[in-house]
Amino acid sequence: MLPIAVLPIAGLLLRMGQPDLLGWAAMAAAGDAIFSNLGLLFAVGVGVGLARENHGAAGLAALVGFLVTTHAVEILLAAPPGSLAKLSIPIGLLSGIIAGVGYNRFGNITLPSYLSFFGGRRFVPIVSGLADWRWPQWWATPGRFWNAGWTPPATPFWARGRWAYSPTAS
């Protein structure tokens, strides 16, 4: 519920800053900043909401997971930076779920004495980062196989479509 509670003020700021109302570009930019970072808000909100005692370490783990996932997906898909805006909310939800469940599972883990600094709540961002780094690779692998199997039968259709929409087609 936490990310949803932010949406009314974002909408008000965005609308009130438009030129036909108050015309304050800074106000409109503030509202747009909230809407353009909804994935981050969902990651942190869901992570904190699912964690025992609503602990902030899960929010940090969700943020780490979101950043790791978005950059890993951009590299795997060879997409330009920032081009995955449509995927930010689903990635945020998944990162928040992984962080919240990870906090509940690993929030009180005990490590050996030489690694004890990274035990407990500090272990959750590490696990979340590793888990969120790994699932885009599992997600992209079936797509690669699908693309490899689909390309030969689809090539004549693509060529026909390019010919039909070319300016020289009669």
3 occurs within a structural domain:
no
21 occurs within a structural domain:
no
Q: Structurally, how many domains does the chain consist of?
A: 1
25 occurs within a structural domain:
no
What is d(CA 107, CA 124) in angstroms, rounded to the nearest whole number?
6
17 occurs within a structural domain:
no
12 occurs within a structural domain:
no
30 occurs within a structural domain:
no
Show the domain range for 159.
37-164
Is the pLDDT confidence value at 144 over 70?
no
- What is this structure's pTM? 0.68
77 occurs within a structural domain:
yes
3-state class percentages of the chain: helix first, strand second, coil last, to nearest 5? 80, 0, 20
Using one digit for the tens of pLDDT, what is the confidence trace for 52-76?
A: 888 778 888 888 888 888 887 777 7
H helices present in 37-122, as ranges: 38-50, 56-77, 88-106
The torsion angle over the Cα atoms of residues 53, 56, 62 and 63, rounded to 10 degrees, is 170
Is the pLDDT confidence value at 128 over 80?
no
Check residues 48 and 1 and name the one with the higher pLDDT.
48
What is d(CA 58, CA 46) in angstroms, rounded to the nearest whole number?
9
